[in-house]
């Protein structure tokens, strides 16, 4: 069996043989959905990315990260199945509990579905695609097969826009996912720093500026439906400039707590650089595989 090694990380654990043997088993534990996970599928073109669905959403994950790169908005019905398009790197097909098939284009617009088709009244239980042939022509089409909980079976021929990928789409999707991976890494790093600040300063930790401060400066704030405050567009820009340049030793502003920390910033930059190197390696591997396939 060879030598065993274990490496632990919050919500992530890696076990297996040495990397030189090329047989490392990776095991990831993450809290993905509130309830049963209905499906898990690796990306057919980007090997370290996978898709999950459950409750009323679907999520895109990168192996080794305990937070999703993308989480869909909460849908009106339970997501019962989901699948990557075998030819379009940024396309996800999902089936819902009320009989809808939705097509999501993560590269173009990820806040709403590209296409919605109400197929049946019962729940969609499974969807899959026709295997790709060894060689494909421009006239070839893609087929999708859909099953429901009441035993019905549906076979559809997809339109050309969903059967053929634009040039370079896989590269653009990976670039987008790389950006999201850096965002997730920064969020995790910043959350850790925030906890350290709470432990360090306790009750003296600077909080959001109170309304009295903004009223004194003449900045007009409006409350949104989510309870957040935004600056009214009628506010004089000169006023905002004065607020940004205002100096004070009062802990209310919290400036002394957020001075640059070279050691902390270096840690973040090293983490981002490691992610970028991994993405560049994956891009090279994808290019080699693409050349071999052609």
Task: Per residue of the chain (294 residues), give pLDDT as tens.
Answer: 333 333 333 333 334 444 445 555 555 666 788 888 999 999 998 888 999 999 999 999 998 888 899 999 999 999 999 999 999 999 999 999 999 999 999 998 889 999 999 999 999 999 999 888 877 777 888 999 999 999 999 999 999 889 888 888 988 999 899 888 888 888 888 777 777 777 776 655 555 545 544 454 454 545 454 444 444 445 444 444 444 444 444 443 444 444 455 565 677 677 777 777 777 777 677 665 655 555
- Can you tell me the distance from the alpha carbon of 270 to that of 186, in angstroms, rounded to the nearest whole number? 11
- Domains of the chain plus CATH, in order, are 5-166 (2.130.10.10), 207-253 (no CATH)
Give me the phi and psi of 33, to 5 degrees please: -140, 160
Q: What is the pLDDT of residue 22?
A: 55
- Can you tell me the distance from the alpha carbon of 99 to that of 152, in angstroms, rounded to the nearest whole number? 11
Q: What is the pLDDT of residue 138?
A: 78
Q: With contact defined as beta carbons under 8 Å apart, do 62 and 177 qualify?
A: yes
Q: What is the pLDDT of residue 73?
A: 92
Q: What is the pLDDT of residue 47?
A: 86
Q: What is the pLDDT of residue 268?
A: 67
Q: What is the pLDDT of residue 21?
A: 53
pTM beyond 0.95: the answer is no
Residues 6+ away with beta carbon under 8 Å from 24:
14, 16, 17, 18
Q: What is the pLDDT of residue 193?
A: 76
Q: What secondary structure, in 3-state letters, does the chain show?
A: CCCCEEEEECCEEEEECCHHHCCCCEEECCCCCCCCEEEEEECCCCCCEEEEEECCEEEEEECCCCCCCEECCCCCCCEEEEEECCCCCCEEEEEECCCEEEEEECCCECCCCCEEEECCCCCEEEEEECCCCCCCCCCCCCEEEEEECCCCEEEEECCHHHHCCCCCHHHHHHHHHHHHHHHHHHHHHHHHHHHHHHHHHHHHCCCCCCHHHHHHHCCCEEECCCCCEEECCCCCHHHHHHHHHCCCCCCCCCHHHCCCCHHHHHHHHHHHHHHHHHHHHHHHHHHHHHHHHC
- Using CB atoms within 10 Å of the CB of residue 88, give its burial: 0 to 12 exposed, 13 to 18 middle, 19+ buried: buried
Distance of CA 222 to the CA centre of its chain: 30
- Can you tell me the distance from the alpha carbon of 154 to that of 131, in angstroms, rounded to the nearest whole number? 16
Q: What is the pLDDT of residue 71?
A: 92
Q: Which residue is listed with tokens 């009062």? A: 250
């Amino acid at each position: 069996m060879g030598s065993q090694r274990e490496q632990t990380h919050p919500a992530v654990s890696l076990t297996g043989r040495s990397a030189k043997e090329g047989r490392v088993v990776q095991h990831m534990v993450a809290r993905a959905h509130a309830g049963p996970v209905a499906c898990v599928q690796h990306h057919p073109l980007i090997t370290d990315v996978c898709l999950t669905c459950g409750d009323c959403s679907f999520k895109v994950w990168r192996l080794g990260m305990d937070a999703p790169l993308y989480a869909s908005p909460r849908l009106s019905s339970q997501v019962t199945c989901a699948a990557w398009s075998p030819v379009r790197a940024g396309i996800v097909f999902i089936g819902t509990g009320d009989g809808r098939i939705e097509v999501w284009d993560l590269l173009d617009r990820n806040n709403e579905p590209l296409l919605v088709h109400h197929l049946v009244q019962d729940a969609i239980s499974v969807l899959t695609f026709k295997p790709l042939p060894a060689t494909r022509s421009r006239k070839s089409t893609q087929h999708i097969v859909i099953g429901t909980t009441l035993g019905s079976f549906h076979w559809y021929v997809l339109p050309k826009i969903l059967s053929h990928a634009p040039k370079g789409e896989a590269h653009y999707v990976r670039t987008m996912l790389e950006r999201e991976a850096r965002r997730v890494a920064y969020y995790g790093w910043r959350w850790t720093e925030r906890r350290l600040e709470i432990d360090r300063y306790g009750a003296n930790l600077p909080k959001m500026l109170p309304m009295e401060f903004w009223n004194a400066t003449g900045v007009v704030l409006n409350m949104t439906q989510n309870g957040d405050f935004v600056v009214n567009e009628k506010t004089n820009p000169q006023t905002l400039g004065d607020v940004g340049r205002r100096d004070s030793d009062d802990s209310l502003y919290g400036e002394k707590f957020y001075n640059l920390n070279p050691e902390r910033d270096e840690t973040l930059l090293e983490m981002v650089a490691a992610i970028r190197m991994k993405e560049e390696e994956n891009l090279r591997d994808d290019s080699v595989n693409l050349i071999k396939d052609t």
